[in-house]
Amino acid sequence: MSISIGIRHEDRYLMERRAPLTPKHVKWLVSQQKLDIVVQTSEKRVFKDEEYIKSGAKIAKDLKKCEVIFGVKEMPVTFFEKGKTYIFFSHVIKGQTGNMPMLKKMMELGCNLIEYEKIIDEQGKRLIFFGKYAGLAGMINSFWSLGLRLKHFGDDSKLSKIKQAHTYHSLAEAKEDISYIGQLIAEKGIPHDLRPFVIGFTGYGNVSQGAQEICGLVPVKEISPEKLLTLKNRKNNPDNIVYKVIFKEEHLSEPIDPNKEFDLQDYYTNPHLYKSVFEKYVPHLSMLINCMYWDARFPKLITKDYLKKMYSKGNPKLIVIGDITCDVNGSIESTVESTAIEKPIYVYNPLIDSVNYGYEGDGILTMAVDILPSEIPRDSSNGFGDVLMNFVKPISIADYSLSYEELDLPRAIKKALILHNGELTPNFKYLEEHLKNV
């Protein structure tokens, strides 16, 4: 008896149009792996039902007949069925309060849960991710936001040619527009009042690499964080380039103990022994693109108090924060809300601690869309599925009735198994503490 594998439609967000597996992946899984694929019908998914049908899939209103179901974002509590296997971004590994009822329901139903975010190699690097595409879309949106903000300031900027990422048919089309702006910068230079124009990137992983790929379409010169501090005092800075600065952990924090040197492993193990030093760089940045991993154990990069002090001294250099990481009240405290694709930007006024949606008003424009890869859904889904499709068959044919120790799954997948027949697996027992109040 063949196992039916389901691809769920996405309903967590209005403009979520991605799919974990695209028609080209389905075609390979059906023709080469001899799998039975059922795709839940969707009017908004970037890939039409007809594309999946041509690839050999069946289309259905629901996935009741499917034992293994792949999705992208969180699924509603009412969707889960007894004993089935689900693979999606569950957002439970940090003990996220809002998703604990979902996890508890899956436990009650004896479900298996595989978390994309925890599918990692032996070096701890993620194997399946949308991160690069978040960076790509986030940087497109940040350039678009900059154009709108400069327009508000009365600058007839050529950046107005750049659009929000989701309005482009493809990533290639967006890159064409940004490359055109890059050519104008090379030929005509940057307006005098914006020089030196500096874009800071926090982090150096997949998200940052995607953002830097888009930034690289304009004339860029990379400088160190140390050189950034003296850049404005240098004479004869070229007027037709954008400066790029990449901030690593050692630039963001330092030990509280003045006699201690920064140690990366110690920083991750004992973040409470470190304090933020990032704010010394902020006055020198024109744009900040936040791409780093952060959780509440680590020092914040920018606090509201700091921004208030900075603004009380007059309009700062910093125009736009592209918070791709999008941790609300997190590493950048002025990210007080995450934003939707249909309402993507707001101006945060640090003097009165308020937001004004759009690009007008006093303060710093913030772009904090929390499903950025869905702004380039075709490209991001293809990239994601290119890796995922190699794990579909072993996930689907595994005998989950066996004990966790006996369960035959690829090592990377087994490490990502949060629930096995409704029980937390050894690496995720810590979630019991977060489930106590559900």
* Distance in angstroms (rounded) separating the CA atoms of residues 377 and 380: 5
- Local structure of 17: helix, strand or coil: coil
Close Cβ partners of 196 (under 8 Å, ≥ 6 residues apart): 231, 232, 237, 243
Check if the beta carbon of residue 329 is closer than 8 Å to that of residue 323: no
Q: Are 35 and 96 in contact (CB under 8 A)?
A: no
Beta bridge partners of 247: 202
How high is the pLDDT of residue 69?
A: 98
Residue 437's pLDDT is: 86
Residue 223 is predicted with a pLDDT of: 97
Nearest to 182 by CA among 213, 150, 149, 224: 213
- For residue 39, give the 3-state DSSP assignment: strand
Contact between 21 and 7 under an 8 Å Cβ cutoff? The reply is: yes
**How high is the mean pLDDT in each 10-residue block of the chain (438 residues)?**
87 94 98 97 97 98 97 97 98 94 98 97 91 97 96 84 95 97 94 94 96 98 96 88 97 96 96 96 97 92 96 91 95 96 97 96 96 96 97 97 97 97 97 93
| Peptide bond between residue 258 and the one before it cis (omega within 30 degrees of 0) | no
Q: How far, in Å, are 118, 141, 207, 385 from residue 242 at the CA level?
A: 36, 17, 20, 34
Q: Are 37 and 5 in contact (CB under 8 A)?
A: yes
> CB of 116 within 8 A of CB of 128?
yes
Closest CA to 226 of 203, 247, 202, 196: 247
